[in-house]
Amino acid sequence: MSTSLRASVSPFGQSRVTLTRQHPIHHLPAFAFSASDSQPYTSLLRYSWEANRRRYPRRSAMSYCDVQPSFPSDSPELISESDFEKVVSPDGYVSICGFGSLLSEKSARSTFPNLINFRVGRLNGFQRVFAHAAPIFFERGIANPETKEISSLSVEPCEGEILMVTVFEIQRSEIPSFIEREHEFRFLAVTPEAIDGNRYTSPAPKLILISNRVLVWILMQVLCARYSDDEYFQNRCKGSQEIYFQRYGRYNIDKIWRDDILPCRVYLRHCVLAAKNLGDAVYNNFVDHTFLGDRKTTIREYLATTGSGIMEEEPPELLKSRYGG
């Protein structure tokens, strides 16, 4: 009896790794995919054996990525809520990739109380940047327009970068809450790796037998990436000045995505503490691979110079739990 592996491509850039046999199988084979013990089954994004082994070298401190990066073709965009159905697992879960405040499980559960499988992963080919104004900071009274300390985090493609991120699953019913929470972002479907470098799969990878073929499903995650002002206005605000005003204009924000602003102090402290709580590897990755809008200054450098003192400042009393790392 012979066995062979092959990959096939389906709509939306999805592909399947299939095992074919000439005769019916009586037991399920084991595949060399790493997984945690309690991950749900999800759809498969475009995948290749070569990509699974690819490693990016650390980026030179003297180089930085384009301010207006192009998004990779193997990270399809989820434009509407209906697009999220393409990444919902057979058992009704969507996998989320966190890189800023969602490095904190407490923060994640404040929005998604029923999340499961909170864990650390690694995302190749993206960098973190403080380059967009966040209305939530104005709403909560922690933005400082005078000093331009009003920025939250987003990610954008950058070849050579590796980000330590968190990964967790939410129920399909929570998708509207997720979109509302991350309203200003571009949603991409990406495939982070587990810490050991392998792609996430289901527990004992999900093997679906169709005729004489076994399909192996690989986890894909939703990532909140950099948008543009024009796309945000057209896609999220539906071209409505009224919607834009309710979300941004009333805070005197006429441009969301900009490179001349600085991190909101309370938010930056929260993200650094959250990263530190996940261990030295995540902490060092955060401070060395997160940049100001110039895409040159790292957070480690910023905290040692202009941003010195941020880590010693306590959040307002009512926000101590929310922004406590």
Q: What is the pLDDT of residues 205-216, one digit of tens each?
A: 333 333 344 444
The answer to whether 257 and 69 have CB atoms below 8 angstroms apart is: no
Residue-level pLDDT at 14 = 40
* Closest by Cα among 132, 181, 120, 180 to 156: 132
* Closest by Cα among 230, 224, 231, 236 to 126: 224
Indicate the pTM of the whole model: 0.74
User: Which region holds residue 252: left if phi is over 0, alpha if psi is between -120 and 50, else beta?
Assistant: left
- Tell me how long the chain is: 325
Distances (CA, A) of 126 to 56, 99, 226: 11, 11, 11
Give 269-288 pLDDT, tens digit per residue.
999 999 999 999 999 999 99
Task: Provide the residue type at 63 as one letter.
Answer: S
Residue-level pLDDT at 65 = 62
Residue-level pLDDT at 104 = 95
Burial class (CB in 10 A: 0-12, 13-18, 19+), 198: middle
* Closest by Cα among 95, 92, 115 to 105: 115
Cα 264 to Cα 283: distance, rounded to the nearest angstrom: 19
Taking every pair of C-alpha atoms in the chain, what is the biggest distance, in angstroms? Answer: 72
Backbone phi, psi, residue 222, to 5° = -95, 130
Give 127-136 pLDDT, tens digit per residue.
999 999 999 9
Task: Provide the residue type at 191 as one letter.
Answer: T
DSSP letter (8 states) at residue 237:
S
Residues whose CB falls within 8 Å of the CB of residue 80, separated by 6 or more in sequence, listed in order:
none
Instruction: Give yes or no for residue 313 having a pLDDT over 90.
Output: yes
The answer to whether 193 and 186 have CB atoms below 8 angstroms apart is: no
Cα 169 to Cα 260: distance, rounded to the nearest angstrom: 34
